[in-house]
Amino acid sequence: MKQVSTLFLKIAVIFIGIPVLALCIFLLPQIANEAIGQAANGAQLGYIVLGILIVMYIATIPFYFALYQTLKLLSYIDKNQAFSDLSVKSLKIIKNCAITISGLYVVVLPLVYVVAEWDDAPGLLLIGMVIMGASMIIAVFAAVLQRLLQVAINIKSENDLTV
């Protein structure tokens, strides 16, 4: 039963990564071409949009690295190594990736504000804030799990030594 639930979670992690990959391959290059066209016409907004897109592409690196660490964590659970230092390390990496993503979006949020004001589209700012907030929530959750897992490992090692 345990491997079925971890298999389901592994499939869910893969399905989380597919839309982001599709966005990076299909939608963002179209937006970049339009921004380059605006920048060639002398519009400063084109350069701002290109800056936002560069940060979005950079943010996908820690995103996929965190997904990879999640798959590793699930494989540790399958191998009955859930209470190990490897799991704590994976959670720490996931936490750091989430903090990095959130930090990147904090840096780019003023640029998103400029684009939202120019296009009169406040939804853009909301999307950036949701991504930033979700990343911070994941970072806090991973930090709590990391701490709880470390405490459980310490208790387990103390119990192994007393027996």
Asked if residue 1 has pLDDT above 60, the reply is no
Q: Which residues contact 46 (CB under 8 A, 6 or more apart)?
A: 35, 36, 37, 38, 39, 40
In angstroms, the first-to-last Cα distance of the chain is: 30
Q: Can you give the pLDDT at residue 47?
A: 83
* 48-86: pLDDT as tens digits: 888 999 999 999 999 999 999 999 999 999 998 888 999
* 87-121: pLDDT as tens digits: 999 999 999 999 999 999 999 999 988 888 887 77
Q: Can you give the pLDDT at residue 139?
A: 97
Q: Which residues contact 59 (CB under 8 A, 6 or more apart)?
A: 100, 101, 104, 105
Closest CA to 126 of 113, 107, 114: 113
Q: Please give the mean pLDDT across all residues of the chain.
A: 90
Greater confidence (10 vs 161) lies with 10
Ranges 14-28, 29-43, 134-148: which has the least confidence? 29-43
